[in-house]
Amino acid sequence: SDLQKQEERGELLQPLIFVLLVLCSILLYFKVSLMDPGFVKPEEEEGEDKGQCVVIPQIPGDIKLRRCGYCLVKQPMRAKHCQLCQHCVRRYDHHCPWLENCVGERNHPLFIVYLSVQLVVLLWGGHVAWSGLYFEQSREWLQHNIFLLVSFLLIFIFTIVVLLLLVSHLYLISCNTTTWEFMSHHRISYLRHSELENPFDQGIILNLWRFFC
């Protein structure tokens, strides 16, 4: 049959890989959006002060962990209360409206993987859409190719957005800082009173290793 011949020639391998990547991106989306991003639980308060001092010795000793004014738990260092999720989140990065969930300590690495897979899917889809376009200056050509042209333009816009988001996150990860800390440096007590501009930075390699591994 034609399918068997195409399979023997390897013509079905690329579409199959593309479909698998799309399915992978969908599964990653649901995984990141539904998982616990690192909610702070009241029973985890004990021993928090001691653990933070060991991990971050550069933070001034006079800065004490404070209780959240909303959920009344003692916030660990780098945690923030999200009013949309109604929880304090460890190593809070941001609340993503597309995921309807916070990006924090537990799902941030998977969020980066999701963006990477999504970028590959968009680049591949953009290549397929572009390869199907044969430009002619005629009304009939536009009528027959308007769907493909609009698809390519949408894919191009989404690719730029995802690429910028991924690059910005990788930069912040390499500096061991979060979006919230980067945007609100002057309002965060443990950063405002620190002698170092970024007391968490331990070098690009170690920052990346600790984040992903």
Model pLDDT, residue 52: 47
96 in catalytic set: yes
Whole-number Å distance between alpha carbons of 4 and 16: 14
**Model-level pTM?**
0.82
Q: How far apart are CA 129 and CA 14, in angstroms?
A: 15
- Catalytic-labelled residue, pool 96, 102, 175, 213: 96
Amino acid in position 125: G
pLDDT tens, residue order, the chain (213 aa): 554 555 556 667 888 899 999 999 999 999 999 999 999 987 665 555 444 443 444 455 555 667 888 888 888 889 999 999 999 999 999 999 999 999 999 999 999 999 999 999 999 998 888 877 666 666 676 677 778 788 889 999 999 999 999 999 999 999 999 999 999 988 888 888 777 888 899 999 999 999 998
Cα torsion 78, 81, 87, 93: sign: negative
The residue whose two tokens read 């593309």 is: 18
pLDDT of 171: 97
Would you list the domain boundaries of the chain? Answer: 2-36+105-212
Closest CA to 42 of 82, 70, 64, 18: 70
Q: Looking at this protein, which amino acid is placed at residue 178?
A: T
